[in-house]
């Protein structure tokens, strides 16, 4: 069977019009949702920025060798070497190593469907759509539901038996401090665990095809030519060594610190880092997340606005050329609408959450605008004619 299928379908003008009217409802929901998302995101970003600023001023540097009762309940920063006694283990595959955190990634070889559409409008408003379905085999750590495929026959994925696993050390310490799972789960697993070939021997009783290749466990007859349903299991870990943490001193543990601004602060990083560097990194991550959510909200609003205008485009598609021109215009109108409304929502959010800053920016903008207007007026004013000799 080929792995690529082409289907051609035709949709009448009335059917397209009905679909576009339904799309208006979806568009309204998208616009409303994007407004809520953009407004909430500004509040979230401001609250996190305030919490980090508050934490940066309140944090106390402490030494890991001993616990000072005077710092109980305070936001502390501690940095030093960590220790553990018992290794972390994945009992299902018999893998163990000494680490602060161990993560298993289980990828299965599966079918994946890719869909590509091309449309051609006809006089009278009908539309012919050519859809190409392409199926390829990929390694994926998520289960791909083949029942949703357009051509599920001969492209069936088996049920995924193995999934992701994350375990943390129960006895990890940083000097006199005990490190719990909430803090250890913040550590990046940036070291790959390379398994020995002998690691597959205990598995062969229940998994005859198990073998270790390039430090990974393969459950496959031939890892160089995998088949649908084969697995590759890999591990990453956060090594025992220097770690930096910021949180509330709660006895011998480091817990989340509740700020007056609203966030609960708990930061962790591999290596010895200063509190200043850790807060700068957290601030950078907050800015990146803010812009990612902003972009998502703007795209959702643009799509919603376009769907609201879509019925007009379909009506004009009775003459395809007119419909295409109007479709491009609808996209531009939706873009202009999004630019104005999204900016207004963000500005309103700032007025709501940070009125003094927003008012200051508004005043500065008005002053600059008035100055520019006055300067332009002076340039355009008629100059007096020189007196006759």
Between β-strands 88-90 and 177-178, what pairing exists: parallel, antiparallel or unpaired?
A: unpaired
Q: Is the separation of the CB atoms in 79 and 273 below 8 Å?
A: yes
pLDDT of residue 360: 66
Q: Is the separation of the CB atoms in 134 and 116 below 8 Å?
A: yes
Q: Is the separation of the CB atoms in 100 and 82 below 8 Å?
A: yes
Q: Is the separation of the CB atoms in 285 and 52 below 8 Å?
A: no
pLDDT of residue 389: 47
pLDDT of residue 384: 63
Exposure letters 312-336 (e unless 16+ CB within 10 A, then b) = bbbbbbeebeebeebbeebeebbee
Q: Tens digit of pLDDT for each residue in 171-208?
A: 999 999 999 999 999 999 999 999 999 999 999 989 99
Q: 270: which 2 tokens?
A: 């591999």
CA-based torsion, 53, 264, 249, 280: positive or negative: negative
pLDDT of residue 381: 56
Cα–Cα distance between 62 and 86 in angstroms, integer? 27
User: pTM of the predicted model, to two decimals?
Assistant: 0.81
Q: Is the separation of the CB atoms in 175 and 65 below 8 Å?
A: yes
Residues of the chain with pLDDT below 50 are 1, 389
Helix (H) or strand (E) segment spanning residue 18: helix 13-58
């Amino acid at each position: 069977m080929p792995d690529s299928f082409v289907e051609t379908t035709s949709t009448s003008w009335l059917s397209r019009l009905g679909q576009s009217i339904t799309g208006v409802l979806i568009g309204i929901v998208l616009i409303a949702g994007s407004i809520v998302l953009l407004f909430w995101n500004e509040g979230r970003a401001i609250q996190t920025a305030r919490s980090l600023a508050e934490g940066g001023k309140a944090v106390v540097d402490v030494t890991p060798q001993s616990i000072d009762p005077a710092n109980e309940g305070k936001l502390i920063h501690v940095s030093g070497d960590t220790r553990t006694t018992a290794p972390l283990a994945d009992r299902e595959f018999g893998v163990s190593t000494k680490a602060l955190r161990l993560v298993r990634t289980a990828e299965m070889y599966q079918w994946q469907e890719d869909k590509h559409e091309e449309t051609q409008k006809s006089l009278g408003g009908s539309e012919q759509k050519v859809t190409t379905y392409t199926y390829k085999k990929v390694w994926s750590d998520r289960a791909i539901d083949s029942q949703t495929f357009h051509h599920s026959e001969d492209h069936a994925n088996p049920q995924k038996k193995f999934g992701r696993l994350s375990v943390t050390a129960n006895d990890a310490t940083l000097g006199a401090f005990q490190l719990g799972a909430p803090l250890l789960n913040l550590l990046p697993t940036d070291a790959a665990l390379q398994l020995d070939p002998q690691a597959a021997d205990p598995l062969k009783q229940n998994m005859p095809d198990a073998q270790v290749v390039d430090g990974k466990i393969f459950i496959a007859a031939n890892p160089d030519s995998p088949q649908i349903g084969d697995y590759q299991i890999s591990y990453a870990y956060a090594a025992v060594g220097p770690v930096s943490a910021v949180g509330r001193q709660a006895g011998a543990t480091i817990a989340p610190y509740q700020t007056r601004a609203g966030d609960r602060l708990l930061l962790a990083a591999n290596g010895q880092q200063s509190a200043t560097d850790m807060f700068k990194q957290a601030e950078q991550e907050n800015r990146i997340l803010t812009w990612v959510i902003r972009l998502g909200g703007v795209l959702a609003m643009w799509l919603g606005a376009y769907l609201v205008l879509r019925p007009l485009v379909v009506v004009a598609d009775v003459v395809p050329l007119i419909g295409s021109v109007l479709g491009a215009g609808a996209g531009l109108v939706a873009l202009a609408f999004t630019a104005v409304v999204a900016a207004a929502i963000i500005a309103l959010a700032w007025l709501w959450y940070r009125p003094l800053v927003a008012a200051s920016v508004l005043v500065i903008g008005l002053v600059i605008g008035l100055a520019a207007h006055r300067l332009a007026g002076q340039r355009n004013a008629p100059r007096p004619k020189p007196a006759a000799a």
